[in-house]
Copies of this chain bind each other. A is one copy, B any other.
């Protein structure tokens, strides 16, 4: 049940890109090195991650001087589940309950396998959260916590 560094960095980067877009509805462009510096991540590693996200259609980019990355859709329309699946693969803890990468596990009878039934509940619980939490939800929540703790 682990989120990889790849997944963690990618999610953090996407949240960072969504953050300024909170107020101005125009998509905010940021450069790899700035995100890397802010999140304390290897820029070279982050580069690969953002590229993957771009190839998955979640980011757009601009090359050359003054270029950078920006969200391909509004922060409300991008969920953590979408990002997670691009970077870390299926959400399901075991293949036999995966929606995006189903494979039979070794149990004698899948239909009545108690482990499978429970792991299916787990999968759904995780997917419920990740697929119903948008980048916008995350940045809103961050701002709410900051406000509660006194400006900052």
Contact = CB atoms under 8 A, between A and B. Distances in A.
Contact of A118 (B41, B114, B138): B138
> Does more than half of chain A's interface fall in helix, strand or loop, or is it mixed?
helix
A41 B105 CA distance: 11
B1 A114 contact: no
A65 interface: no
Nearest to A133: B118
B126 A138 contact: no
A133 to B, nearest CB: 6
Interface stretch (A25-33, A44-52, A88-96): A88-96
A122 B132 CA distance: 12
Counting every copy of the chain, the complex holds 2
Contacts of A41: 106
A12 B152 contact: no
A99 interface: no
B115 A138 contact: yes
Nearest to A41: B106
B3 A119 contact: yes
Given A2-B93, A40-B106, A107-B12, A112 B142 contact: yes
8 contacts: A1-B3, A15-B114, A40-B108, A112-B142, A118-B129, A118-B138, A121-B129, A125-B126
Interface of A: 1-3, 8, 11-12, 15, 38-41, 80, 88, 90-94, 105-108, 111-115, 117-119, 121-122, 125-126, 128-130, 133, 138-139, 141-142, 145-146, 149, 152
